[in-house]
Amino acid sequence: MKSFSLPIKWKLTLWYGGILALILVTFSSGVYIYFQNSLQKSIDTKIKSIAEVLASSMTETHGQSLFGNFERYLENALGKKPKGKFIQIIDASGKIGARLNDLEAEAVPVSFVTLERALKGETVYETLESARPRLRMITMPILDSKKVTSIVQVGSSLEEFEDTMKRLLIIMIISIITSISATIVVGYFMAKKTMKPVDQIRRAAVKISSTNLDERIDIKKGRKDELGRLAETFNAMISRLKDSFQRINQFSIDVSHELKTPLTILKGETELALRKERTNQEYRRSMQSNLEEIDRMSRIIDDLLLLSKAETKDIGMNLEKVDLRDLLAGVCLNMKLFGENKGVEVVVRDLEDIRIVGDELKLRRMITNVVENGIKYGHPGGHVTVSSYKQNGFACINVEDDGPGISGEDIKYIFDRFYRADRSRKRESGSGLGLSISKWIAEAHKGTIEVESKPAAGSLFTIKLPMS
């Protein structure tokens, strides 16, 4: 069975409606209870006032007989005939002495528990649920010399009170339903508008493929909220993906070219050797040429495998204390002959006594790659200068050449695989991966490698490695 999930805009709408409903119900309940208590308190105050007047009057008359003249007595005592009230006087023995029933009601039941409490001098408030209509009743003792001589009961119909509360309840229910309905409608359109960038992202994501990376989300100018930033992030991600696909495509082309060149040479040399009989010396030259191309392909494959393992973090680090001065001096000594063959002099200058913790073999390869790069692309009669120094807890290595330099357009790609900054340079025998490997080795040691360069002014590579 396929699961059902509401769209986010409907979830937001329901959340808006639910929260508002909770707030309105809570607020309305509070208002309802407040008015209910206030009206009941008002009723209690009125019946208490009548009871107190009658109690005071009865005390002054010393309990004289009120039979047959009770209405006139109430008019004199209260100043007017009480309407919508139930009033009765009960003597200490529980006998009803006088009664006024200005209600369309049956006989009002008398609670013996209430009478007992009143006879003890306690004033009792109660709601008579069994009476029709319901009554709010006060039972008050009449005292003479601190002795209960009789009891006065005053009741008021709750019919008007109940009608008022019903009208209030209806008004509240209608208001709540109207408010929630309006909130749901407004909330839906607000949620729809708010989620528009998300829907745009979804539609753009559907259209995106390896052959279509030009989709972008149209962001309103000045929108800097969370969804606006999300859309910006999505657009930036697509741009990065496009760049990555382009680089992957270029990488594939470069790998094919790098491997195709030596294979073509191998095939040509072999075909030429097989075309006619040759001397042993000619065969040896042919085999030597083939061996060089095989070595070149082997280096390319080895470098690619190294970078692939580096990306998956499948290469272990053999960390040990390394004398950086000795390491740099050894690399430069090994590169002198290569530099002489290219007409470039390798110069060692200002090597400080620095010791770091690292993988000596990988560090040697990193520096060799950078120095070799300077030699390969240097001018005959040029120099590659290697120096080192300490700075802010880092061991810094400078490799500077006076070659043709690198343009500002190309310099940000200089550490990419197979990238050649100067298209006019002749293709060298290396794998084209040296600087990429150097960058990985530097970062694997928690360091950095940077380059500064200007066309026709040479390049400066700076390697920074932590000293502790």
Confidence of residue 262 (pLDDT cuts 50, 70, 90): confident
pLDDT of 462 reads: 95
Quick check: 292 pLDDT over 60?
yes
pLDDT in tens, 20-61: 888 888 998 999 999 989 998 999 999 888 888 888 877 655
Find all residues with CB under 8 Å of 203, minimum gap 6, and list them. none
pLDDT of 10 reads: 78
d(CA 213, CA 230): 18
Mean pLDDT of the chain: 81
Question: Which of 121-130, 210-219, 274-283, 300-309 has the highest mean predicted lDDT (pLDDT)?
Answer: 121-130
The residue-averaged pLDDT of 410-428 equals 63
The residue-averaged pLDDT of 228-237 equals 80
Confidence of residue 383 (pLDDT cuts 50, 70, 90): very high
pLDDT of 270 reads: 80
pLDDT in tens, 320-372: 999 999 999 999 999 998 899 889 999 998 889 999 999 998 899 899 999 99
pLDDT of 424 reads: 41
Quick check: 272 pLDDT over 80?
no
**Whether the Cβ atoms of residue 272 and residue 240 lie closer than 8 Å to each other:** no
**Whether the Cβ atoms of residue 155 and residue 100 lie closer than 8 Å to each other:** no
Point out the least confidently predicted range of 221-225, 388-392, 420-424.
420-424
pLDDT of 343 reads: 92
Length, in residues, of the chain: 468
Quick check: 63 pLDDT over 60?
no
Quick check: 407 pLDDT over 80?
yes
Sheet holding 124-128, edge to edge: 96-101, 85-91, 147-157, 135-144, 124-128
d(CA 105, CA 402): 116
**Whether the Cβ atoms of residue 215 and residue 238 lie closer than 8 Å to each other:** yes
Give 376 or 204, the one with higher predicted confidence. 376
Quick check: 19 pLDDT over 80?
yes
pLDDT of 310 reads: 66
pLDDT in tens, 306-315: 766 666 666 7
Quick check: 209 pLDDT over 80?
no
Residue 175 to residues 27, 37, 172, 181, Cα–Cα distance (Å): 12, 21, 5, 10
Block residue for tokens 């050797």: 273
Domains delineated in the chain? 8-163 (3.30.450.20), 226-311 (1.10.287.130), 320-466 (3.30.565.10)
pLDDT of 401 reads: 92
Residue from 31, 86, 39, 89 nearest 64 by CA: 89
Give 228 or 181, the one with higher predicted confidence. 181
pLDDT in tens, 170-188: 999 998 888 888 888 888 8
pLDDT in tens, 356-367: 999 998 899 899
Quick check: 3 pLDDT over 60?
no
Confidence of residue 223 (pLDDT cuts 50, 70, 90): low
HSE of 414, CA atoms in CB hemisphere, 13 A: 23
Give 417 or 420, the one with higher predicted confidence. 417
pLDDT of 12 reads: 76
Confidence of residue 427 (pLDDT cuts 50, 70, 90): very low
